[in-house]
Structure 1
């Protein structure tokens, strides 16, 4: 009660904070006349002048008023648009590393230019993150005009750029790109073998557009770079044929979690059917020999029963493409993991791509938390304010609109079934269509949008459909959704990034209608005619009531509903919004309280009859809150598990970075050798034990295998007072002498490169295996809960032990390779330039091998001949250390001439 009284008198904390920023806006406005009087050249000279102030010790906050005033004036000259005061407040919020919640149509893209320009003056780089490639290119091109006018460079990161283009884009003062591209470039950089190959600079400042879509909706799944494994397509197809025969009474489905469980009768039926098909070893489905079949069965059940075509995915160009459930966008290049995507491909009868093995991964949460300063902007963030602060430590600041919102939000209307609901929607749309009022309809799936399209066709209403099938036309369809009499059906309006202007969008109409018309008086006249037509249509649309937004059902998240509703009523325009619901809606059917259904059914609601009540709206909001809480827990769990891997990832990536930057790694290699010897002696000669209890034979064998030296330990044992420490010292001396002798026979520069190469190669190899192990562990660790143990704690302990074991294995393997192998040098004239040493790797996203060694290892064997003396060298020849094909120009990735069926690099041309 007291809090409500204080709020009514003093305003909310958000209102007080926004009001405090007004003082800075007053300073910016006070400079306006002074900046306005500058010539173009003098205005452009502001950039070097402000940079000089930073060099002299001024902070960004010190120069903020002048920098913002400069951007405002430059925008007026370049675009003919002057930032509103509320847009200046939004820019200050972004600069402070907070989230600016601004309604649709308030010009968020223009707001970002102020904070972007100010922070770019430091020369450390600013990243502007968008939700799709179209927006990244559009904003870089459009807003780049403003930044270029002020002397800043602008780059854009989109798919299919080569490394030189990417490096140039990241070197720019301001870089636009998508969240996926930024994240994948980070992972790719940490798979490279030379610092010069890396494209990104150290992280500095990022502004995330549609921050809720990127940092909340898309943060449930990590970014993964992976490589293909063995082809199992025949098994997927065979299991899919069995699953498609299973009847609904043989399984139990949980739509909330999309899990399928076979009943006892279902297990018996599956066992008989699989046994008949020859897919089962024995007669028990859950024997250890059938583990792989059970996994394929589970994934195929999910694919057939729970994943729906045109809702969860579409089939395009004979490929299964995932549809983002929040935005309705196609997610090209993204695949479900753990064999689920292959199961869906088998279900649809398209080509089955091989399963992938994780090479590198990171969550969006941990990627974006690496930025020292992170901010974002969106129209809907307040409902997730707690999560933004918990995960990213960012506050959400609600920025007031430039003019009051005039949109009318009507009560929800409730129907008994989907057909009644869509019939009522179609009639309302026809009424609006006849008056010329534009209508935007939001649906939750392609299936629903096409169903509504059929209803409108029957009503004789001309309309456009925007969903994943028409992804390429998205911006053009949205841009004209405010035209007189326009009816647009959109799968989802989250993050569309294109403003709906009443009467139509002049720029898009010019591009669409006059793109082929040459410059000249005729084109100028056509443009003037379009502008006049749009102005006249806008007046008619305003008279008709502005844009009418209709929601065909409530979404799982209130934010998505608000995003759709927010498309109407921009910049003080009139507007209308209304949602239509029914008992068959997924949200109410799956998450609604049981009492809701019983009360509605008992009310004897007649077909075609509608009701509406506050109680009903409250029940729906409760259901949405349930889903939001569940989704938050899912994302929180993803972060908790990735935090464990993230600590290890940092260690590995820092070590890789140190190795790449070092001219020589001989000290690291020596330390690894000494650590390995320490472990060998500790295992064979436990502290406090008597020599007669030592595992002398095992120690000799290990020392011979790993260090390639004969150990005269029998003679040492005859000495009095022999201790494990003495044994370790003598083995260390022998091993160091052996390596010094080997290295003395060759050019030290070559050995430095070889050590560096092997170190990076082994680090990458075992890190990749470690990731696969952690993936498997995460899949089963939840079973520890049955033993009254906390899965996440168990995961942390197991992951730490596995990581320590991995580091120990790396030390041992590097020591073994360097000790056992020998360099066989070709003629000096054949020696290539040193910079070519470590450039080989697979392009992670495409999986295409370049002209170098495709598995990421250095080209040492190809450049300097094979490593001889390794127990694994000469696989298939039976003669260790001999490569009869060494003199031939054989590609590392070609089949070995010996006929083993292995690649040359894994056979006679093997490194180890």
Structure 2
């Protein structure tokens, strides 16, 4: 393959060659565009919109539009797009992934395709990984859009419905992946169309695309309501599990060896499982007084025990989660950030709460859910940008139909990436890391140390304190100061310890960042955050206080710029930013992200990873051959090992894990695709109802369908009418649709001769009742009732269906042992369950409509799903993102509008 690329050039080279003439055209337009006044430049936006309305395409106007944005950026924020950023902008407009190295200006690059695609009036979204980045990028780049006459909105946590609607109505909207996804789910739970906030999914650029579409791919977004189950069992099971002994294995492939252990349960680190041994099962049966733990009636107990085993055997405090203010908070395994409100699902979070002795919260009921994979695949055009995507190109192509084009750097990368240094033990490794930091610090070279866990970052911090080295720690516990700490990590003599750098999003500038220093000084002067934000905003104002703050900011920025420029020279002489990795991550991409923090825009820098054979990656996925080789060398713990075999083994281990994770994500998608097709059907039906399409004709069709199904159940066409079970038919028809006493069994027996006649009789009786209701309520109120009742029924049945499909997926894995493909079985049974749900929706809707009494009807506008604080979770390392919806109380008025209490109406069957 490499030889072919040398002869014919790579795919990316060919694509870049095709783009070159477009880039040349943009650059040639530069002098002409530069002659325009500000007003003339702004008028170009209206001109482009007009040209589009007259039949020109976005591709037709791209060169001139990009030249206009480039000129506007130069005038407004003093930054001009480099040629490589123009290339990136074209790739993004084409719906592809632009791989741009750190510091190459992805934020500025995105302004080009966002402006161009926003001209259609259908909206353009920029998706980031956190609220801070969404606000910061919208504020900074919003100056360019506003200058050109386009509006910019931001979607972050905590906004109300009206604020969200306004943000989506803007030409360009910045926001986080979670917020975009939750808004989509909430929009599909509303009762009135004007409660919806989004206006279609037209074009999106996903920043840090590998983090969102790969690392978070298995993470479902979930809107949940509180369940009713008691939490006592979690605490009882926790007491029991604490009494058990455990054995930890790298892997338990050798079943006999596993069974020989004297322990009560086994932890398999490689497979990430914890299971009872035969001895443990015996203890559980005795402790809980059950005969057979595997019996179906003991399924709940067995599930609780399994989750408690995971909590004690696999989940590590200060690695997988932290306990803060008596609350268990998940730590993101890729970024090291605290994931407030996120909860592991399937009872695992409750099991950890019991383990840590904090309040055990109730399990929740899923009201709506979707994975990021399926949400982002709904956009008409999707693009992405990141510094590291090429290692996952196969997955981007297979799942999202996105190809990856590496964009050349503006200046050559002169960072030196040293070979890995491998030590026998962790202690030997950290001693070497400490010496490297001390030596670099002596000459003033800034050092950024990357760690995989909070535990490691704090241990290293204690080591540095003992040696009197001043440093900053950036991990999940200190994320509030994240941007400031990262921004100053390039200062002369700075030492920064950070858990994974994925998605950090702030450039490390050598010598320090004058803008952050100026803001820091303004805080010291007593200015609040709103005023500081206004001081760097481009929004027009005549507010004296803001104008004064802007003047102070400029003076401080200019003063600090002199200092940081002087410091930058010292840092360059010292060798630039040094990156030290204390462990290899499972993914090569995460390692590359850490490395990429150094050497931005042609700056000098260096990187090195320190590894020990005790690290999880080497312990679980390294070969035994390596262990034998190292033992044969008889090295001391502080002697480094340098061998090509080790470097190959590390890369091989990482590739092995990447392959396993890709298969897991593909497997999740295969299951979720089944739910996705069903979700599309349900949501499109809801949309028709919300759009005031003719609901009456739906109801009439439902009545006809139900009449047919009643007859087909009790009256075979081939059978003699005398053999029909008329009394059962009457009883069933009056249970699922008609009020009692509507049908007369004797009358049917004596006058009906065919099943078709019987179907027409039942349908006509129901239709007459339906027409009477319409006369009684009036046409307008009847349509409103139909809409309310249909939406309420669809939502209730869909929520139950989500739970049922989860149960089906949970149990269907066992089918593989019976030579059945579990995905095929899941599809087949899932379709049958969906079909049954549709029938139940029709029956319940018609039954409620035909039986509703006028004196019980009150109609007031309300929203079904009102979002409250975020709440999240999963049964493994993946954590579904959850948001709670307000629960209807048992004694509250029923949301269907009947006027009855919820427990006497729609909640009657919900215990």
Q: TM-score, normalised by structure 2?
A: 0.91
- Where 1:223 maps in the other structure, the secondary structure is strand
8 Å CA contact 1:215–1:365 kept in 2: the answer is: yes
- What is the aligned counterpart of 2:38 among 37, 40, 45? 40
Kept after mapping to 1: 8 A contact 2:189/2:864: no
Q: Which of 575, 590, 596 does residue 545 from structure 1 map onto? A: 575
The aligned runs of 1:753-772 (5 Å cut-off) are: 753-772=784-803
Closer, same or farther in 2 for the Cα pair 1:516/1:473, shift >3 Å? closer
Q: Which residue of 2 aligns with 1:804?
A: 835
**1:712 match:** 744
Identify the match of residue 377 of structure 1 among 385, 396, 400: 385
Alignment partner, residue 493 of structure 2: 485
1:571: how far off? 0.8
1:712: how far off?
2.8
Distance 1:600 1:488, change over 3 A: same
CA distance in 1, matches of 2:555, 2:52: 48
Partner in structure 2 of residue 238 of structure 1: 236
Number of the residue aligned with 2:155: 157
Whether the 8 Å contact between 1:101 and 1:377 is mirrored in structure 2 is: yes
Partner SS for 1:227: strand
* Conserved 8 A contact 1:415-1:421: yes
Cα gap change, 1:521 to 1:266, in 2 (>3 Å): closer
Q: Equivalent of 1:77, from 75, 78, 91?
A: 75
Distance in 1 of aligned mates of 2:236 and 2:479: 34
- 2:344 aligned with 1:336: yes
Structure 1, 123-132 or 741-750: larger mean CA deviation = 741-750
Q: Is this contact kept in 1: 2:726–2:749, CA < 8 A?
A: no
Instruction: Indicate the residue corresponding to 1:594 in structure 2.
Output: 624
**1:336 positional shift:** 0.8
Structure 2 stretches lacking a partner, 5+ long: 247-262, 526-547, 871-882
The whole-number CA distance in structure 2 between the counterparts of 1:543 and 1:326 is 33
Task: In structure 1, list runs of 5 or more residues that go unmatched.
Answer: 276-281, 867-891, 894-901
Residue 285 of structure 1 deviates from its aligned partner by 2.0
The answer to whether residue 263 in structure 2 is matched with residue 265 in structure 1 is no
Structure 2 counterpart of 1:253: 267
Matched, 1:839 2:876: no
Match of 2:763 in 1: 732
In structure 1, distance between residues paired with 2:715 and 2:724 = 5
Q: Contact 2:865–2:885 at 8 Å: present in 1 too?
A: no
Does the CA-based 8 Å contact 1:385-1:395 persist in structure 2? yes
SS at match of 1:404: coil
Task: Please report how far the alpha carbon of residue 521 of structure 1 lies from its aligned counterpart in structure 2 after TM superposition.
Answer: 8.4
1:217 aligned partner: 215
1:652-701 C-alpha deviation (Å, 9 max, x unpaired): 00000101112541111111111111111111112211223221111111
Match of 1:313 among 308, 314, 321: 321
The match for 1:278 is: none
Equivalent-residue separation in structure 2 for 1:180 and 1:556 (angstroms): 24
Matched position secondary structure for 1:608: coil
The separation in 2 between residues aligned to 1:246 and 1:675, in whole angstroms, is 57
Offset at residue 848 of structure 1 (A): 6.0
Distance 1:67 1:598 in 2: 63
For the pair 1:421 / 2:417, whether they are aligned, the reply is no
Q: Kindly tell me: are residues 670 and 857 of structure 1, through their superposed partners in 2, closer, same or farther at Cα, counting changes over 3 Å?
A: farther
1:101 aligns with 2:125: no
**Cα shift readout 1:535-559 (whole Å, capped 9, x = no counterpart):** 1110000001000000001000000
**Quick one: distance in 1 between partners of 2:93 and 2:904?**
54
CA contact (8 A) 1:761 1:856 kept: no
Match of 2:854 in 1: 823
CA distance in 2, matches of 1:312, 1:652: 36
State the secondary structure of the residue aligned to 2:863: coil
Per mean C-alpha deviation after superposition, the further-off stretch among 626-635 and 227-236 is: 227-236
Output the CA distance in 2 between the equivalents of 1:666 and 1:371.
32
Q: Alpha carbons of 1:298 and 1:521: their partners in 2 closer, same or farther (altered >3 Å)?
A: closer
Cα pair 2:227 2:365 within 8 Å, conserved: yes
1:777 matched to 2:808:
yes
CA distance in 2, matches of 1:384, 1:768: 35
The CA deviation at 1:437 is: 0.2
Q: What residue number does 1:500 align with?
A: 508
1: distance between equivalents of 2:410 and 2:892? 56
Q: CA deviation at 1:345?
A: 0.9
Task: Quote the Cα distance in structure 2 between the aligned partners of 1:339 and 1:583.
Answer: 35
Deviations 1:140-168 (A, max 9, x none): 11111111111110000001110000000
Question: 1:274 is matched with which residue?
Answer: 288
Q: Give the C-alpha shift of residue 524 in structure 1.
A: 5.9
Residues in 2 aligned to 1:22 and 1:259: alpha-carbon distance in whole angstroms: 52
What is the root-mean-square deviation in Å for CA atoms of aligned residues? 2.1
Q: Distance in 2 between matches of 1:810 and 1:7?
A: 58
1:567 to 591, 597, 603: 597
**Distance in 1, Cα, partners of 2:693 & 2:820:** 47
* 1:190 equivalent in structure 2: 188
User: 1:171 maps to which residue?
Assistant: 169
Contact 1:500 1:567 in 2 (8 A): yes
Deviations 1:78-100 (A, max 9, x none): 11111110000000000000000
**Equivalent residue in structure 1 for 2:521, among 510, 513, 516:** 513
Q: Quick one: distance in 1 between partners of 2:851 and 2:896? A: 18
Query: Contact (CA 8 Å) 1:664, 1:756: kept in 2 or not?
Result: no
**Of the candidates 84, 87, 90, which is equivalent to residue 89 of structure 1?**
87
Matched residue count: 858
Cα distance in 2 between the residues matched to 1:376 and 1:606: 47
- What is the match of residue 874 of structure 1? none
Contact 1:703-1:710 within 8 A present in 2 as well: no
Question: Given that residues 223 and 885 in structure 2 are in contact (C-alpha distance below 8 angstroms), is that contact kept between their aligned partners in structure 1?
Answer: no
* Deviation, structure 1 residue 806: 0.6
Counterpart-to-counterpart distance in 1, 2:734 and 2:160:
46
Aligned counterpart for 1:29 among listed residues 19, 27, 30: 27
Report if aligned partners of 1:438, 1:482 keep a CA contact under 8 Å in 2. Answer: yes
Matches of 2:595 and 2:748, distance apart in 1: 84
Structure 1 contact 328–445 (Cα < 8 Å) conserved: yes
Which deviates more from structure 2 when the two are superposed, residues 598-607 or residues 622-631? 598-607
- Compared CA separation, residues 541 and 308, structure 1 to 2 (3 A): same
Q: Secondary structure at the match of 1:76?
A: helix
Give the secondary-structure state (helix, strand or coil) at the position aligned to 2:651: helix
Deviations 1:315-349 (A, max 9, x none): 12221111111111111121111111111111111
Map 1:386-785 → 2, pairs under 5 A: 386-517=394-525, 519=549, 526-662=556-692, 664-705=694-735, 706-708=737-739, 709-719=741-751, 722-785=753-816
Shift of 1:850: 9.0
Q: Is the 8 A contact 1:303 1:347 kept in 2?
A: yes
- CA contact under 8 A between 1:116 and 1:126: conserved in structure 2? yes
Change (3 A) 1:903 1:456: farther
User: Is 1:203 paired with 2:201?
Assistant: yes
Question: 1: distance between equivalents of 2:231 and 2:774?
Answer: 49
Give TM-score scaled by structure 1 length.
0.91
Residue 838 (structure 1) shift: 4.9
- Write the distance in 1 (CA, Å) between the matches of 2:521 and 2:211: 33
Question: Highest relative contact order (Cα 8 Å, sep 6+), 1 or 2?
Answer: 2
SS where residue 338 of structure 2 aligns? coil
| Partner of residue 129, structure 2 | 131
- Among 139, 142, 148, which residue is 2:140 paired with? 142
Sort the Cα spacing of 1:851 and 1:233 in 2 relative to 1 into closer, same or farther, 3 A: closer
* Deviations, residues 121-144 of structure 1 (Å, cap 9, x unaligned): 111100000000100010111111
